[in-house]
Structure 1
Amino acid sequence: MNKPKLYISGAITGKPDLNRTKFANATKTFRDLGYIVVNPHEICYDLKEDEWNQCMRRCIIALMDCDTVILLDDWQSSTGATVEYQLAFGIGMEVFNIDLFLKCIQP
């Protein structure tokens, strides 16, 4: 069985260094486990923080190519992550809190 392609969702705007470390750690964890991971920081690397709309458009397109959304612990404080959650849940994608997903996949 193929592993699902994962999209990482969490707070970025207003966080120190745009929360890059938290996203990078989650991305590394899942890639080390053999997952294909989509990280918003990698999608929007060339955009400035004030180009939120353009980044969200890119992220939504990328999210639609994934199987599962992984929510970081701060996602509820983020407008963008809330949009991603609502969209994913609304179309029937699998959506997991990162800690729960890690528990489910570990033997």
Structure 2
Amino acid sequence: MTRPVLYVSGPVTGMPDDNREAFEAAADELAACGYIVRIPHWDVRPGEKWPAAMRITLMAIIAQADGLAMLDGWERSEGAQLEAHVARSLMMPVKTVSQWAARMPAKRGRKTCK
């Protein structure tokens, strides 16, 4: 079975350090569950203008992701809403980070993947 690729989506604009800590924590949690994970911070240069950043993230989602893992507060983020809309339009599952973590069986020697 191939490991699913999840793209983490959530608020970036206006957040301290572009919310990198929350994105990286989610990436670590999901990777521990066995997912392959991508976050926008790995693709978008710091200081990139919003339209260019969205083009980069949407292309990554379309080309690489099997689903979207949403951070808390994503509903208040215009970019995350757009990413979720595109993913759903392409029939990709959109779930919270905890929902994705609960779906994956625990790795050997661990009761949960969290």
TM over 0.5: yes
The answer to whether structure 1 residue 95 and structure 2 residue 94 are counterparts is: yes
Pick closer, same or farther for the CA change 1:9–1:37 going to 2, 3 Å.
Answer: same
CA RMSD of aligned residues (A): 1.4
**1:54 counterpart (29, 52, 55):** 52
Corresponding pairs, count: 105
Normalising by the residue count of structure 2, what TM-score does the alignment of the two structures yield?
A: 0.85
* Conserved 8 A contact 2:30-2:97: no
Of all paired residues, the percent bearing the same amino acid is 34
Equivalent position of 2:33 in the other structure? 33
1:62-87 Cα deviation digits (max 9, x unpaired) = 00121011011111010000000001
Equivalent position of 2:71 in the other structure? 72
* Residues in 2 aligned to 1:53 and 1:101: alpha-carbon distance in whole angstroms: 28
Higher alpha-carbon Rg: 2
1:79-102 Cα deviation digits (max 9, x unpaired) = 000000001011100111111111
* Residues in 2 aligned to 1:38 and 1:52: alpha-carbon distance in whole angstroms: 19
* Residues in 2 aligned to 1:106 and 1:73: alpha-carbon distance in whole angstroms: 23
* Gap regions ≥5 residues in structure 1: none
* Conserved 8 A contact 2:11-2:19: yes
The alignment partner of 1:8 has SS state of strand
Q: CA deviation at 1:106?
A: 4.0
**What amino acid does structure 2 have at the position aligned with 1:86?**
H
**What amino acid does structure 2 have at the position aligned with 1:5?**
V
